Amino acid sequence: MSDVPAGLGHQGREAGGRLTVRKTYKLYIGGAFPRSESGRSYVVNGSDGGFLANAALASRKDARDAVVAARKAFGGWSGATAYNRGQVLYRVAEVLEGRRAQFADEVRHSTGVTLTKAFAEVDAAVDRWVWYAGWSDKLAQVRGGANPVAGPYFNFSLPEPTGVVAVLAPQDGPGSALLGLVSVIAPAIVGGNTVVVVASEKYPLPAITLSEVLATSDVPGGVVNVLTGRVAEIAPWLASHMDVNAIDLAGALGAPGALADDLAVAAAENLKRVVRLPAADWSAEPGVERMFSYLETKTVWHPMGV
């Protein structure tokens, strides 16, 4: 009998001789779960070196498809009311908490932490979703305002989403499997942006399960698109893509070589916003800097009495 619990797509039998159901891990693009266009996959091993699953190895074409899906979803998501976006993020937290045991199981077997610490990371991830959900209808008050001007005009500054954001999820380190992933997705979408996420190559299973949570909650298809595979292969195409408006380099910081610097140079081709905010401790208070990084400020002048 296998000592690895069911649900991780591994080999083995449950008590009584029943074979466990092997899962087919796919990408999450446009609200659907396609296989990689390349047909490739890679082996995901647990903290003990044992086999956990075969994950899809996304290609350049998959990245392009994800950007198209994100752009298509941008109009509807950015046009939704702030209150509605908050409701949607809160619903994600509800569904995630309903699958608490599965997430804890995947975090434990992926990273090797104790079950108690795995549950603590899942709980923190749920709380992080709720925290960002609460910000949705407060962004305009905090980031915007009425400006004093010398003339018969009203002058207002209002925050607007920047567009499609490429997010490189944290690749390794404490809390990166789930909490770090949530901490880079939620601040981008709460303000009305849509995202293409490159999951941790080492810990992709929580990201894949999070895709299932997003698909079964109220998040419209295309708002979040999740790619699994190699950051060094996918990220350069996202950084240079002319329809990507911002990129979060969290998953490239500390990578071998000068990957983060190379991506920042590639992003300069269409003046993308480049977010380089290292987070050594994802359990710390997130603050507002990452969330505000994906907002533009629009200033409107209007004559009085008209």
Which class for 184: exposed (0-12), middle (13-18), buried (19 or more C-beta within 10 A)? buried
Residue 256's pLDDT is 67
Residue 19's pLDDT is 78
Tell me if residue 207 falls in helix, strand or coil: helix
Assign domain 58-303 to a CATH class.
Answer: alpha beta
Residue 152's pLDDT is 82
Helices (H), ranges, 245-284: 259-267
DSSP code of residue 268: G
Residue 73's pLDDT is 98
Nearest in space to 226 (alpha carbons), one of 207, 241, 248:
207
Would the pTM count as exceeding 0.85?
Answer: yes
List average pLDDT for each run of 10 residues in the chain, which is 306 residues long. Answer: 41 61 87 93 90 93 97 97 96 97 95 95 97 94 80 82 96 89 96 97 95 95 96 94 96 81 92 84 90 90 76
